[in-house]
Every structure is written in structure tokens, then in C-alpha cells.
Amino acid sequence: MSDEQLWRSRIVDVLDFPSEGVVFKDISPLLAHHDAFSAAVDAVVAHHLEAAVDKVVGIEARGFIVAAPAAYRLGAGFVPVRKPGKLPGPTHEEAYSLEYGANVLQVHRDAFSPGERVLIVDDVLATGGTAAAAARLVFTAGAEVVGFSVLLELGFLAGRAALAAQHPGVPVHALLEY
Amino acid sequence: MSDEQLWRSRIVDVLDFPSEGVVFKDISPLLAHHDAFSAAVDAVVAHHLEAAVDKVVGIEARGFIVAAPAAYRLGAGFVPVRKPGKLPGPTHEEAYSLEYGANVLQVHRDAFSPGERVLIVDDVLATGGTAAAAARLVFTAGAEVVGFSVLLELGFLAGRAALAAQHPGVPVHALLEY
């Protein structure tokens, strides 16, 4: 079985989660399988092994599960981007739109130094709203986003185009597309 | 500088977070430093490299940042223990006491197989309430807890004694004690 077949066999559709009418792609079985998890982390960073990545950003909470081992694999530092009120120090924040209303993401003001090279890693690329907001937080600090890397991309939500519009020239890699 | 000196230099006291009178140990600067983070992950799993660990449990949300790379380093699967309503599939749950009231942790019912060897990893050992509840979730599934491993232990909260009382014989390792 190829890595892609293994990953696809361990992503489960859950109907009506988190709300009615939504089909949630549950990656828990993939994470729980040692070979699938290990290969997924390796693949997430595969395009960035030769480029010096200083820090990997993970987005609360499931994003941490992929981004933190990606940072470890790259020998990079890890920076959490979190929902309001979770980070103890002074923060920058960015809002992003949802279907109804908006959410806010925060990062510590001292999380990056100017010129640092930052990879943004998440579990899923949907509309691209959270990833784009995370990138704005990196740019606010004067650091550089060298790429977006995700386990799976929900192609019908056009997140890749949204990222390209806001952050042109930053490569987007996804292990799987649905 | 030793690893321990490096780690201690990058853990910051934040007063009155998350509530007045609390001194929060912020590990963000440690996570963001590539050498400190990498050495911390290695040290968290150091006592378990020779024992076959099937799965590593991480506790939402900061616990994921240490536990997921620990799973990757061990070649193990990763299982998230989460707050209610976050996991899409059928769950087991366990309550644990807080100073005022109680909280609940959940894990997917199919997360473990009987007999699997599980390491529980978290960022901080405080009262031991969450770690003990996570261990009960592992035992409920018929799997075995081979150890608890944390970055830092708040010794004055006696979490180590609480874990020993509820889960005798399971080793507890902490990189740093305060």
C-alpha cells in the first residue's frame, strides 16, 4: 500500500459534525497509526528539508498535532497561533471571516525575529482563512512565510486560491486533496 | 550551557494568568527555540526508547505540542485526549476535579486496542488530575500505561503523589521541577 492509500484508508467521514449538514474528515485514525503518522509528518516537511526553516507555526488545536512534529523533524522552533485569551504574554491578533461572523487568532509579539523563515503547518486547508491570518501574523513581526503545508486540502472550498490571492508566491503543499 | 540551563532560561513566569494570584509558567520561549525544543522532545522520550511504545497520548491543547513530536520520535501513533465536544466519533469520558468544580476529558472509543503500551505526555504536571484521568481512559480501553512524561513538574502541587496513589507502579518523569 502506498503512503497515500494508507492515509486515505485512515481518514473517516463523520456526518453532521460539528454541525448538521457538514461532513467532517476525521484524521484521528491516521494520527493513531504509527506508520501513517510518521510518513505524514515526513511528507509535510519534504519540500522544506533543504531550505533553512527557523520556525514552524501551528494553529490551535489540531494543527499542533502535525505542526509540532514537523518543527521537530526540521530542527526548527515551534510557535503556537491560538484563540483569544490562551496566550499569557502580549500578542498580535488577526481576524478572519467565517460563514457567519469572524474569529480571531493571536500570536505572542516576541514569537518571531525579523527575517526569520517560517513554515505554516495545519491539518486541513479549507477556505484558507486561518492559514492566511496566521501568515499575516508572521508578516506583522517582520518574518517571512516560506510555505503552507497541510495534510489534506478540501479543494471545493478554494483555500489554495484564497492563499494565492493574499500571499502570492508562497507555495502551498497538501498531502491529499478531496 | 546544559540542556537544563537552556530550558530554565526559556521558561517565563507570567503573573496573574490565567487568573489573579496565579503565576503561570510560560514555555513558549522554550518551544520557539530550536535547540531547546528538540532537546526537550528527546528528553521526554529518553526513558522509553528501549520499550516498545505503541501510542502516545497528548492532552489538549498545549500537551499536543510536546506529545505529538514525542510520538513521532518513538515511531508511535498519536492519540488526542480532548475537552467535550471536540472529538467527532463515539467517546469514553472521565471527569477530574478542579479547585472549583470538575472538568471532563474524552477519547475516541476506538483509539486503543487491548494490550497496547501507551505513554502519556503533557507539558506540565500540576495536581495530576488531567494525567490521572487520561490514564483511566487508557485503562478503560484495556490498554496499558507505561509511563507519564512531562516537561515541567510543579512540585508544590503534589501531582506525582496523586498519580502514584491512583496508578501505582507507573513511572513519572519530568525534565524540570519547580
pLDDT in tens, A92-126: 999 998 766 789 999 999 999 999 999 999 999 99
- pLDDT confidence tier of residue A178, bands split at 50, 70 and 90: very high
* Mean pLDDT (whole number) for B5-32: 96
In angstroms, the CA B165 to CA A16 distance is: 41
Of B97, B66, B95, give the one whose Cα is nearest residue B159.
B97
User: Could you tell me whether strands A77-81 and A91-97 are parallel, antiparallel, or unpaired per DSSP bridges?
Assistant: unpaired
CA B123, A75, B71 angle in degrees (round to 5)? Answer: 45
pLDDT the model gives residue A102 = 83
Residue A99 and residue A129 in contact, taking contact as beta carbons nearer than 8 Å: no
Q: So what's the pLDDT on residue B101?
A: 73
List residues of A with catalytic annotation. Answer: 62, 99
CATH number assigned to the domain covering A51-177:
3.40.50.2020
Q: Does B34 touch chain A (CB under 8 A)?
A: yes
- Banded pLDDT at B99 (limits 50, 70, 90): low
pLDDT-derived band of residue B41, with 50, 70 and 90 as boundaries?
A: very high
Residue of A29, A61, A77 lying closest to B34 (CB–CB): A77
**What is the rounded average pLDDT of the residues A161-175?**
97
B26 touching chain A per CB within 8 A: yes
Q: Given phi > 0 = left and psi -120 to 50 = alpha, else beta, which region is A49?
A: alpha
How confident is the model over B5-26, as a mean pLDDT? 96
Name the residue ranges covered by the structural domains of chain B.
51-177
**Cα-flanking dihedrals φ and ψ of residue A157, to 5°?**
-95, -5
- pLDDT tens for B102-160 read 899 999 999 999 999 999 999 999 999 999 999 999 999 999 999 999 999 999 999 99
Cell (9 digits) for B109: 472509543
**What pTM was estimated for this model as a whole?**
0.97
CB contact under 8 A, A69 and B65: no
Task: Search chain B and give the residue with CA nearest A15.
Answer: B88
Query: Are the Cβ atoms of B14 and A76 closer than 8 angstroms?
Result: no
Q: Is B7 in the A-facing interface, judged by CB distances under 8 Å?
A: no
Query: Measured between CB atoms, does A86 come within 8 Å of chain B?
Result: yes
Q: What percent of chain B has pLDDT over 90?
A: 95
First to last CA, chain B: 19
With beta carbons less than 8 A apart as the criterion, state whether A60 and A81 touch.
yes
Q: Nearest by CB to B32, from A24, A61, A111: name it.
A: A111
- Rounded to two decimals, the ipTM of the complex is 0.97
| Residue A99: predicted pLDDT | 65
pLDDT of residue A101: 73
- Range in A116-120, B48-52, B54-58, B64-68 the model is least confident about: B48-52
**Tens-place pLDDT, residues B161-171:** 999 999 999 99
CA nearest to A37, candidates A76, A11, A1: A11
Q: What angle do CA B46, B156, B95 make, to 5 degrees?
A: 80
**A72: nearest CB among B37, B64, B86:** B37
Any bridge partners for residue A103, and if so which?
A96
Indicate whether A51 pLDDT > 90: no
Q: Is A18 on the interface with B (CB under 8 A)?
A: yes
Q: What are phi and psi of B149, to 5 degrees?
A: -140, 130
What mean pLDDT do residues A9-29 have? 95
**H or E element, residue A58:** strand A55-59
> What gap in Å lies between CA A161 and CA A147, rounded to an integer?
14
